[in-house]
Amino acid sequence: MSYPQHRGARRPRSVVILAAGLAALLAAILGACSGGSTSNTNTSGGNKGRDLVVARDMDINSLDPARAYCDTCQIYLSAVYETLIGLAPDNKTLEPRLATSWSSNPSATVYTFNLDPRAKFSDGTPVTAADVKFSWLRLKNVKGSGSYLAQDIKSIDDSKPQTVVVTLSRSSSEFLNETNASYMGIINSTLAKQNGATDADNAATADKAEKWFLTHSAGSGPYVLQKYTENAEIDFLRNAKYWGTPPAINRVVMKQVKDAISQSQQLTSGSVDVAITAPSEDSIVTAPTAVVGTVSGTDLFEWYLEYRPVEPSANWTRFGAGSAVASGTLASFDPTLGLERNL
């Protein structure tokens, strides 16, 4: 899902999915959703389903939510950590995530969020106001690249476990939009503190949790971190205790493949399902086996492809993880990754 544009927005990148890769992607999504399996099956974490393998020139600087700041970081954080509110598919309407409702005072200096009592972290513990307070103050005080999102927070009242009251140092009508940025995701404060995290004013020097976050996650999202190997691979495994609708794909493997030619070769061979940096569409669009598509949003578990049928008057066909795919001849169109609407 996409986020509204803020400071530091990045431009789109091209996405190319060859026919072989597309078929594998469909098998992964639909097979996992129907409970089926293919030869590449991982049985841990619930329903069986083929892994989704993504080739990408990764730019990860950290896996710590308070320090991470990159395109790939957004994909990871969106899959593993959840924000209080998000955007509907129209990219305009705010919708509930961890919070069921929210409001502000007339001057836009005090915001109140009511948390969903069903929300739980991957270890089964409930998401509370204390976790929100810790996450946002830690983001602010660690002073990483994404800290500007929390810089106007003056105080957070967490006296009621399911109610978060945020007071800002100045009026900000943009605060609700900023809270849906992936860097504002909520972490399990108890687990993080046990492993060196702090939200204290001196967190920039006192916080020692970054190394722990390279091998562990502490979120409430549909995926958990399974493995990360620097400059090689990051694996997301479906959260077996996810409180929402489970994702259709059991495991997502993101491989470091730096150049576009290598990514295309791996797509053609079938060793990966999706490439996120690809040759220009002009160079391959005439190839009879090529289908050029759009991956919109950075939530890996909710990536969707849109295809425009050959008939110019026909409507666009959209499918997402767990949804049906309309059959028919597909034509190529402009490939973009919707990162221009993200931080």
Rounded to 5 degrees, φ, ψ at 258 are -70, -50
pLDDT of res. 335: 28
Q: How many helices (H) and strands (E) does the chain have?
A: 9, 17
**Measuring CA to CA, which residue among 294, 298, 303, 304 is closest to residue 332?**
294
Domain range annotation of the chain: 17-58+246-341, 71-213
Give the predicted TM-score (pTM) of the model: 0.73
Predicted pLDDT of residue 266: 81
Cα 238 from Cα 48, distance rounded (Å): 11
Residues of the chain predicted below pLDDT 50 = 1-48, 278-343
H-helix or E-strand spanning residue 137:
helix 129-142
pLDDT reported for residue 50:
61
- How much is the pLDDT for 75? 86
Q: Which two tokens stand for residue 309?
A: 């049928």
DSSP per-residue letters across 222-270: SEEEEEEETTTEEEEEE-TT-SSPPPS-SEEEEEE--SHHHHHHHHHHT
The CATH class that applies to domain 71-213 reads alpha beta
Cβ atoms 291, 281 nearer than 8 A: no
DSSP state of 201: T
Candidates 51, 54, 48, 44; CA nearest to 28 is: 51
